[in-house]
Structure 1
Amino acid sequence: MVNFQPRIKGILLVITGAMFWGISGTVAQYLFHQKGFTPEWLVVVRLLVSGLLLLLYTSCRINHNIWDIWKLKHNGLQLIFFGIIGMLGVQYTYFAAIKYGNAATATILQYLSPIIITFYLVISTRRIPILQETLSVILAILGTFFIITKGNPHSLSISKLALFWGIASAFTAAFNTLQPRSLLARWDSSIIVGWGMLIGGLAFSLINPPWNFTGEWSIASILAVMFVVLFGTLIAFYCYLESLKYIQPTETSILSSVEPLSAAFLSVVWLHVHFGVFQWLGTLCIIVAIIILSVVKNKEVVYE
């Protein structure tokens, strides 16, 4: 007999984590558009604080030696590469897309990363894509078209910079998934992500130190920064990983589609971002594409 209580716990955890990720993007939009904060400052603070707290949590709570990973030179080089190109890259491109556009569009465009991963795996393994993969790619392209044009091929509904950074965030998110696979096979994910964040934050501090700040401080902006760092990073990450103890990775991938939906909904309700019929339709197309890919991936795992 299936024990539904742990399963329900897993579902609630992944939905909570995904919602926090989506909401944190909208909160970042509030900081950029209404409080004059810069993506550079928020990225460096988010990476440094989250990285330190995650490593501290891993060392104390999970009882792992966070320094062992540096004993092998190869691991260290991979980790540095992951931190600078992966963690820093995905954080900055995402926040830049929000600054020049809005959180809803940025989150949805970043959600194209599984499609990019599929392209990469098909090319690298030199195989013909199956029907479901082809359908997912078509849906993703159609969804992106609807979002950036509102159905009118002769005009863009978002700025060119927002489109550029949004697509860039999808590529960096794909890199973030593929590059550390060998590290994740040997080390706890919290160690990899914690060091990646800290390395990315330290590297970016050389370009934009955390004391290089512009913006308007208030109680609201302080709470917003705390939400992005704590709830939108640490707690969201914890909820996502914890959910894997109770439900399948495929279910986690599907349920995490709450992230772009929560970002879009909150942007419309709170920040009064206009989201038309075609943009909602585009969002639906991309989410369906990801769900199809998640189901296909699960079948591959089951039958191998």
Structure 2
Amino acid sequence: MQKKRLLGIGLAMFGACLWGVSGPASELLFAQGVDVAWLISSKMLIAGVLTMLLALVKAPQAVMAPWRNRRDAGQMVIFILFGMITMQFIYFKAVAVGNAPTATILQYLAPVVILVLSAFMARTLPRRQDVLIIALAMFGTLMVVTKGHLTQLAIGPRALFWGLLAALAAAMYTMLPAGLLRRHSPLVVTAWAQLLGGLVMTAYRPVWQNPPHLDRTGIAAYAFVVLFGTLIAYLVYLASLQYISATAASLLDAFEPLGATVVSVLMFHLHLGGPELLGGALIIATVCLMAVAGPKAPKVKPAVATAKIKKSRRRPA
């Protein structure tokens, strides 16, 4: 039993690191002139086809289940448009206008955003411990975006805007498919979201028009984002849930911003000062505190209850 738990922990850590590393890899692609919309449409389409093929092999009878009633079909469409596509585009836009560590750390505020949104929807005030968590997260964010100089921004206004918007998008990405994930296979839900999301994005930004010209490093980075940072990361995460709980796996998500930061420092020689490291640590600590200590938002209707599903990063389809 202990060996299986350790295996689950290792898988969850590995998956989170893959999601995190896809941020710096995409940053390298943007430096070579790759358009954000092209990256999203191409990678979602490729990952969607591969994930759907896997779903057809593993659960062929469940593939069409989400489309058999209007409620699930409508929720699927909403999730694809305002969850999968929106989260993917906004996160990578945040990386493009800023840098991968900052975008990933700010996106990691999503559980705090869910806490606030859930309290608002339930029309109740957060509990005292919830307020403390929110305050710690906000202070950590302040350290990241000001580098300790509290009277001025240390990152561009656009980077801050897209980074905070990424946290909101990630929260919606988590909340929107809650009912679907209770009634249907997460693999099937994600396969449809990636495939149809890729088709929608391709209609907006056709992958065959003006494709980027990448060198060998760029090709390797693109392959990593599509295969390891999207497909394999999600499959590894699903495998980890066979041995550990979703709560335990969510704690190990902290390796996502850690992976993004370490790779950015090594690859791009990014310098992070003490205040930024402190701020990132505080944000990660608040999310861990939410999972371990149990402060939760007031109960809300099942349709908006929190559910865990991974982006194919950054937590990338």
Task: With the length of structure 2 as denominator, give the TM-score of the two structures.
Answer: 0.90
Letter in 1 for 2:14: T
Residue aligning to 1:252: 249
Once the two structures are superposed, what CA deviation does each residue of 1:132-159 show, in whole Å capped at 9, x if it has no partner?
A: 3222111110011011111112321111
Stretch of structure 1 that moved more, 229-238 or 212-221: 212-221
Q: How does 1:109-148 map to 2 (within 5 A)?
A: 109-148=106-145
Deviation at 1:71, TM superposition (A): 2.0
Letter in 1 for 2:133: S
Instruction: Give 5+ residue unaligned stretches, structure 2.
Output: 298-317
Change over 3 Å in CA distance of 1:298–1:60 after alignment to 2: farther
Q: Given that residues 62 and 185 in structure 2 are in contact (C-alpha distance below 8 angstroms), is that contact kept between their aligned partners in structure 1?
A: no
Percent sequence identity over matched residues?
Answer: 37
Following the alignment from structure 2 to structure 1, what is the Cα–Cα distance between the partners of residues 170 and 11?
22
Following the alignment from structure 1 to structure 2, what is the Cα–Cα distance between the partners of residues 277 and 64?
53
Once the two structures are superposed, what CA deviation does each residue of 1:200-256 show, in whole Å capped at 9, x if it has no partner?
A: 222222221112335332222111111101110111111112111111222111111
Deviation at 1:83, TM superposition (A): 0.7
Alignment equivalent of 2:220, drawn from 219, 223, 228: 223
Q: Given that residues 132 and 293 in structure 1 are in contact (C-alpha distance below 8 angstroms), is that contact kept between their aligned partners in structure 2?
A: no
Q: How does 1:234-253 map to 2 (within 5 A)?
A: 234-253=231-250
Residue aligning to 1:180: 177
Once the two structures are superposed, what CA deviation does each residue of 1:147-198 show, in whole Å capped at 9, x if it has no partner?
A: 1111112321111111111111111110111111111111011111111112
Structure 2 residue 229 is matched with structure 1 residue 232: yes
Following the alignment from structure 1 to structure 2, what is the Cα–Cα distance between the partners of residues 299 and 246?
24
Following the alignment from structure 2 to structure 1, what is the Cα–Cα distance between the partners of residues 62 and 121?
35
Following the alignment from structure 1 to structure 2, what is the Cα–Cα distance between the partners of residues 298 and 239?
28
Deviation at 1:297, TM superposition (A): 4.0
Q: How does 1:45-56 map to 2 (within 5 A)?
A: 45-56=42-53
Following the alignment from structure 2 to structure 1, what is the Cα–Cα distance between the partners of residues 219 and 77?
30
Q: How does 1:72-111 map to 2 (within 5 A)?
A: 72-111=69-108
User: Secondary structure at 2:183's aligned position in 1?
Assistant: coil
Once the two structures are superposed, what CA deviation does each residue of 1:19-49 show, in whole Å capped at 9, x if it has no partner?
A: 000001110011112x111111111111111
Letter in 2 for 1:291: C
Alignment equivalent of 2:277, drawn from 240, 259, 280: 280
Q: Given that residues 94 and 169 in structure 1 are in contact (C-alpha distance below 8 angstroms), is that contact kept between their aligned partners in structure 2?
A: yes
Change over 3 Å in CA distance of 1:115–1:298 after alignment to 2: closer
Q: Given that residues 41 and 212 in structure 1 are in contact (C-alpha distance below 8 angstroms), is that contact kept between their aligned partners in structure 2?
A: no
Residue aligning to 1:20: 18
Letter in 2 for 1:201: G
User: Secondary structure at 1:127's aligned position in 2?
Assistant: coil
Q: How does 1:163-202 map to 2 (within 5 A)?
A: 163-202=160-199
**Any runs of at least 4 consecutive aligned residues in structure 1 with deviations exceeding 6 A, and if so which?**
none
Following the alignment from structure 1 to structure 2, what is the Cα–Cα distance between the partners of residues 53 and 19?
21
Following the alignment from structure 2 to structure 1, what is the Cα–Cα distance between the partners of residues 295 and 149?
36
Letter in 2 for 1:21: W
Deviation at 1:298, TM superposition (A): 8.4
Following the alignment from structure 1 to structure 2, what is the Cα–Cα distance between the partners of residues 275 and 216?
31
Instruction: Give 5+ residue unaligned stretches, structure 1.
Output: none
Following the alignment from structure 1 to structure 2, what is the Cα–Cα distance between the partners of residues 20 and 277?
25
CA RMSD of aligned residues (A): 1.6
Following the alignment from structure 1 to structure 2, what is the Cα–Cα distance between the partners of residues 246 and 287?
23
Residue aligning to 1:206: 203
Task: With the length of structure 1 as denominator, give the TM-score of the two structures.
Answer: 0.93
